[in-house]
């Protein structure tokens, strides 16, 4: 294991056991099998018929032809919209989109793990991939049109490629792999890419260590180019866009969101505001153990005189998690996916070390304890995933029911649905969406009143919200725990 984790140039490094042609073949088969099982698990456990979530409708509507594009707020980036465009641009099938993303995410996980093959033995890399792939949050979000999983696999590949470029400037595959991985992260979320790559950038700056800096810079520039261009066109420049994004996210600054993240581990897709009791200890125990396991993994790597791969992964995991633990006032479990991906391989190395021959007479007991802990961990992850999928599917069906009611009431395309909660229902109803207040405010009362004379218009609110000012005289309807206000039909003077 020590030789295989050596990051000296390949010309001066001895071939590690299992890294010959036969060993590489077996390793690739192992990783390929893991990736295939990951894809299959997504299709079986998440399913292709869950419906699209709020953020998904925003991203998909930018490239889908059936629904008008939803308001695209400052914190978002268009990478995920372009990723789903090959399917969403010609088909409205959610099942087809889920299958496409499940297959693509399995391939991405395989490619990211494969970059670690020169740094750790195949069994370590495969176990690390399995630890990450079996988290409920990974399985839940990988087949969704959301950017966080793609930032995670980009970060995982970037760290491995950075280590390889640092060790051997002639490793052109790693050079271009580093540029591509950082580009993928920046394409999906530019700010997340900077945070995740921060230790790599810092380590590449000192004189004599600048070999990895060029691909890092190339990846960041290429991946964020569209985001920067759009910032100048729509927001008045990158600084203004960042400021607008901070405002939408409640003002970035010192916020202790660690407990909020714990609350979200029970299956809350968005914990904002984040209140209520913590999930059961069985659900959060792995999260408490993760920092301890990471520390022990570093200690094992230092003792074996191969600290570089573990230290780089842990450092990038820390910076990737930092803004979501300490700089934002709410939580979502998907925010920490890059950190989980980066921690997975070092933790796998630790687990295989304490259960391997080096454990001596304690090997049997260690292996039994680790196997028992992993079995319980998998059971908990499955239970949370099952409940999360069930609740999410039910809420998406409610949106579909509201959309069907809108059509029954005569609000059919081309149409407008207003209100702070309008975006996902408008997508399901194939209407434009509008809001005069809140994070997605994009219009005025006068514009909505003018639209009433040109197309069917409705407003959507929660049951306890007051009637919108522009909806005076509109008919009121209740459906799926929502309140609908439908404007008089522009054609007949009635509600239709």
**HSE of 183, CA atoms in CB hemisphere, 13 A:** 14
Stretch 164-175: mean pLDDT: 93
The reported pLDDT for the residue numbered 359 is: 66
Flag whether pLDDT at 494 surpasses 60. no
Instruction: Please give the residue that has the higher pLDDT: either 9 or 178.
Output: 178
Stretch 415-433: mean pLDDT: 96
The reported pLDDT for the residue numbered 21 is: 59
User: How confident is the model over 326-379, as pLDDT tens digits?
Assistant: 999 899 999 999 999 999 999 999 999 999 877 667 888 889 999 999 999 999
428 shares its domain with 337:
no
The reported pLDDT for the residue numbered 7 is: 47
209 shares its domain with 146:
yes
301 shares its domain with 405:
no
47 shares its domain with 138:
yes
Of the listed ranges 14-18, 208-212, 310-314, 453-457, the least confidently predicted one is 14-18
Using the Cα atoms of residue 330, residue 336, residue 339 and residue 340 in order, give the sign of their dihedral: positive
Instruction: Assess if residue 122 is contained within a domain.
Output: yes
Instruction: Assess if residue 288 is contained within a domain.
Output: yes
Write down which residue in 326, 354, 382 finishes a domain: 354
Stretch 88-112: mean pLDDT: 96
Average pLDDT, the chain: 91
Flag whether pLDDT at 15 surpasses 80. no
Stretch 16-24: mean pLDDT: 55
Instruction: Assess if residue 403 is contained within a domain.
Output: yes
Of 445, 454, 449, 450, the closest CA to residue 489 belongs to: 454
217 shares its domain with 346:
yes
350 shares its domain with 398:
no
The reported pLDDT for the residue numbered 4 is: 39
Of 146, 149, 145, the closest CA to residue 92 belongs to: 145
Q: Tell me the backbone φ, ψ of residue 388, rounded to 5 degrees.
A: -65, -45
The reported pLDDT for the residue numbered 294 is: 97
The reported pLDDT for the residue numbered 191 is: 96
Write down which residue in 354, 369, 404 finishes a domain: 354
User: How confident is the model over 274-286, as pLDDT tens digits?
Assistant: 788 899 999 999 9
Stretch 418-436: mean pLDDT: 95
- Cβ(76)–Cβ(132) below 8 Å: no
Flag whether pLDDT at 1 surpasses 80. no
47 shares its domain with 165:
yes
Angle at 263 between CA 391 and CA 419, to 5 degrees: 55
Instruction: Assess if residue 301 is contained within a domain.
Output: yes
Flag whether pLDDT at 464 surpasses 70. yes
Work out the burial of residue 242: count CB atoms within 10 Å of its CB; fewer than 13 is exposed, 13-18 middle, 19 or more buried.
middle
37 shares its domain with 150:
yes
The reported pLDDT for the residue numbered 476 is: 95
163 shares its domain with 312:
yes
Instruction: Assess if residue 386 is contained within a domain.
Output: no
The reported pLDDT for the residue numbered 23 is: 64
The reported pLDDT for the residue numbered 356 is: 80
How many folded domains does the chain comprise?
A: 2
pLDDT band at 490 (very low <50, low <70, confident <90, very high): confident
pLDDT band at 422 (very low <50, low <70, confident <90, very high): very high
- Cβ(55)–Cβ(146) below 8 Å: yes
Residue tagged 């600290």 (tokens): 307
Distance CA 113, CA 294 (A): 19
CA 36 to mean position of chain CA atoms: 20
Distance CA 242, CA 235 (A): 9
Distance CA 145, CA 60 (A): 7
> CA separation (Å) from 94 to 49, 50, 100, 447, 465?
7, 8, 10, 32, 31
Instruction: Assess if residue 360 is contained within a domain.
Output: no
Of the listed ranges 1-5, 55-59, 173-177, 291-295, the least confidently predicted one is 1-5
The reported pLDDT for the residue numbered 374 is: 95
Flag whether pLDDT at 491 surpasses 70. no
User: How confident is the model over 304-315, as pLDDT tens digits?
Assistant: 999 999 999 999
| Predicted structure pTM score | 0.93
Other CB atoms within 10 A of residue 217 CB: 14
Flag whether pLDDT at 260 surpasses 50. yes
Stretch 92-116: mean pLDDT: 97
101 shares its domain with 187:
yes
286 shares its domain with 418:
no
The reported pLDDT for the residue numbered 438 is: 84
Instruction: Assess if residue 207 is contained within a domain.
Output: yes
3-state DSSP of the chain: CCCCCCCCCHHHCCCCCCCCHHHHHHHHHHHHHHHHHHHHHHHHHHCCCCCCCHHHHHHHHCCCCCCCCCCCCCCCCCHHHHHHHHHHCCCCCHHHHHHHHHHHHHHHHHHHHHCCCCCCCHHHHHHHHHHHHCCHHHHHHCCCCCCHHHHHHHHHHHHHHHHHHHHCCCCHHHHHHHHHHHHHHHHHCHHHHHHHHHHHHHHHCCCCCCCCHHHHHHHHHHHHHHHHHHHHHHHCCHHHHHHHHHHHCCCCCCCCCHHHHHHHCCCCCCECCCCCCCCCHHHHHHHHHHHHHHHHHHHHHHHCCCHHHHHHHHHHHHHHHHHHHHCCCCECHHHHHHHHHHHHHHHHHHHHHHCCHHHHHHHHHHHHHHHHHHHHHHHHHHHHHHHHHHHHHHHHHHHHHHHHHHHHCCCCCCCEEECCCHHHHHHHHCCEEECCCCCCCCCCHHHHHHHCCCCCEEEEECCCCCCCHHHCCCEEEEECCEEEEECCCCCCCCCC
Q: Tell me the backbone φ, ψ of residue 318, rounded to 5 degrees.
A: -65, -45
pLDDT band at 248 (very low <50, low <70, confident <90, very high): confident
Provide the residue range defining the domain that includes 83: 10-354
Instruction: Assess if residue 313 is contained within a domain.
Output: yes
Residues contacting 277, CB < 8 A, separation 6+: 263
pLDDT band at 201 (very low <50, low <70, confident <90, very high): very high
User: How confident is the model over 21-71, as pLDDT tens digits?
Assistant: 566 778 899 999 999 999 999 999 998 889 999 999 999 999 987 899 999
112 shares its domain with 224:
yes
User: How confident is the model over 203-217, as pLDDT tens digits?
Assistant: 988 765 667 899 999
Length in residues, the chain: 496
Write down which residue in 332, 354, 376 finishes a domain: 354
Flag whether pLDDT at 474 surpasses 80. yes
Residues contacting 257, CB < 8 A, separation 6+: 274, 324, 325, 326, 327, 328, 329, 330, 331
Instruction: Please give the residue that has the higher pLDDT: either 379 or 20.
Output: 379
The reported pLDDT for the residue numbered 5 is: 41
Flag whether pLDDT at 94 surpasses 60. yes
């Amino acid at each position: 294991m020590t030789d295989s984790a050596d990051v000296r140039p390949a010309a001066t490094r001895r071939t590690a056991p299992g890294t010959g042609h036969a060993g590489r073949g077996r390793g690739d088969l192992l990783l390929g099998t893991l990736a295939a099982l990951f894809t299959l698990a997504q299709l079986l456990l998440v399913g292709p018929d869950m419906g699209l979530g709020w953020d998904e409708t925003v991203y998909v509507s930018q490239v889908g032809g059936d629904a008008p594009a939803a308001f695209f707020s400052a914190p978002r980036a268009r990478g995920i919209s372009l990723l789903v465009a090959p399917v969403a641009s010609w088909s409205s099938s959610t099942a087809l989109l889920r299958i496409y993303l499940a297959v693509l995410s399995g391939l991405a996980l395989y490619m990211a793990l494969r970059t670690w093959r020169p740094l750790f033995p195949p069994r370590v890399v495969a176990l690390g991939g399995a630890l990450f792939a079996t988290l409920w949050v990974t399985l839940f979000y990988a087949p969704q049109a959301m950017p966080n999983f793609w930032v995670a696999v980009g970060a995982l590949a970037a760290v491995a490629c950075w280590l390889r470029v640092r060790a051997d400037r002639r490793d052109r595959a790693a050079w271009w792999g580093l540029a591509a991985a950082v580009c993928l992260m920046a394409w999906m979320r530019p700010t997340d890419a900077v945070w995740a790559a921060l230790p790599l950038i810092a380590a590449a700056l000192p004189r004599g260590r600048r070999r990895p800096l060029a691909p890092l810079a190339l990846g960041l520039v290429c991946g964020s180019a569209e985001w920067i261009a759009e910032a100048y066109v729509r927001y008045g420049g990158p600084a203004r866009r960042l400021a607008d994004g901070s405002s939408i996210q409640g003002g970035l600054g010192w916020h202790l969101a660690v407990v909020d993240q714990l609350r979200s581990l029970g299956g809350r897709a968005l914990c904002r505001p984040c209140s209520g009791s913590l999930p059961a200890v069985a659900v959060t125990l792995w999260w408490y153990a993760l920092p301890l396991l990471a520390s022990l993994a570093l200690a094992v790597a230092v003792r074996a005189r191969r600290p570089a791969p573990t230290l780089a992964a842990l450092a990038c995991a820390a910076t990737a998690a930092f803004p979501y633990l300490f700089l934002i006032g709410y939580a979502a479990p998907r925010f920490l996916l890059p950190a989980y991906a980066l921690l997975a391989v070092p933790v796998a190395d630790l687990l295989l070390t304490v259960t391997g021959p080096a454990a001596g007479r304690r090997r049997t007991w260690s292996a039994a304890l680790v196997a028992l802990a992993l079995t319980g961990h998998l059971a908990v992850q499955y239970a949370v995933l099952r409940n999360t999928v069930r609740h999410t599917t039910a809420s998406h069906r409610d949106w579909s029911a509201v959309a069907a009611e809108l059509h029954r009431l005569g609000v059919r395309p081309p149409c407008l649905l207003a209100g702070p909660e309008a975006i996902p229902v408008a997508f399901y109803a194939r209407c434009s969406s509008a809001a005069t207040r809140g994070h997605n405010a994009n219009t005025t009362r006068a514009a909505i009143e003018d639209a009433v004379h040109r197309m069917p218009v409705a407003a959507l609110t929660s049951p306890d919200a007051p009637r919108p000012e522009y909806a005076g005289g509109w008919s009121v309807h209740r459906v799926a725990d929502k309140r609908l206000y439908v404007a008089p039909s522009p054609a007949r003077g009635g509600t239709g």
